Amino acid sequence: MIWKLRRSLNTKVARYIALLISVCSIFILTSFKYNLFQALGWLLGVIACLMWAYWGWQDRNQEGYGRFLMEIVSVVLGIWGVINWYG
């Protein structure tokens, strides 16, 4: 019981961290015009999407799989954004 509560609290904190990473990514993508900062913004977006995709996969229900697929598409597009801005 305590282990489940601890895991739940760790997941909640990690989800807030993923949210903060997403907000930082959006701030960087909308504020900076240099290629290096744009690539950093896309990279942070990919990291946050990977975190959310992991939790979507762990949910093991229909909504979790849908969220997992949505986040994987976002990861692929984010990687394309990093390549596009950095390259």
pLDDT value of residue 24:
92
pLDDT of residue 44: 92
Q: Are 47 and 21 in contact (CB under 8 A)?
A: yes
Q: What value, to the nearest 5°, has the Cα angle with vertex 52 and ends 46 and 41?
A: 25
Q: Could you read off the pLDDT tens digit of each residue along the chain, which spans 87 residues? A: 445 545 565 777 888 888 899 889 988 988 877 777 888 888 898 898 888 888 877 776 666 677 778 888 888 887 887 787 666
Query: φ and ψ at 78, to 5 degrees?
Result: -65, -40
pLDDT, position 1? 47
Spatial contact of 45 and 72, defined as CB atoms under 8 Å apart: no
